[in-house]
Amino acid sequence: MSKRIKQLMIADLKGRVGETSDFLVIDSSKMDAITDNQFRLALRAKDISVLTVRNSLAKKAFGELGVDALDPILEGPSTVVWGGEDIVALSKEIAKWAKEIGELEIKGGAVEGSTLDASAVDALSKSPSREELIGKIAMLALSPGGNIAGALLGPVGTVCGQIKSKAEEEE
């Protein structure tokens, strides 16, 4: 392959990836064509991109993008997966597919400049999603206000009830 073709392929990969810095790497080489097509179509519907890459070109492209964490993982047949809502949702989706399809192997990933092995990706897939974490934070932020309101309304309700009963007695 000529140097110019390699440069075009690297530029194409960089263009497809864009500003993304969180990736998973899988090995889908053992899957049959029909299963692989169904897998890719299902991921595309969830805005997840899947691209089988040549390791040397991928290392060069990701190195130019500042994502060096994938270098130890890009060995053997490699398919790079990125996109979705966030890296947790992506890892949950890929882990789900890996359980359904025995031939699909999770090799690892890169999250915020850190290299993840297959077990770390599995652990990431079991962590709460972004929406769940936001909900927990909102609940924690609102609970002191609810406690204060409950503490204030309890005695105030008692005093109001006593004033009402006294007013009814005087009538």
Alpha-carbon distance of 142 to 154, in angstroms, equals 18
Domains belonging to the chain, first-starting first, are 3-127 (3.30.70.1730)
**Which of 96, 107, 127, 82 is CA-nearest to residue 28?**
107
Q: What order of strands is seen across the sheet that includes strand 114-117?
A: 48-53, 78-83, 23-27, 105-111, 114-117
The reported pLDDT for the residue numbered 101 is 87
Residue position matching structure tokens 């290392």: 59
Percent of the chain, pLDDT > 90?
Answer: 11
pTM higher than the cut 0.95: no
Per-residue tokens: 51 = 């691209």
The pLDDT tens digits for 90-149 are 889 999 999 998 888 999 888 888 888 888 888 888 877 777 778 778 777 777 766 676
Please indicate whether residue 139 or residue 33 has the higher confidence score (pLDDT). Answer: 33
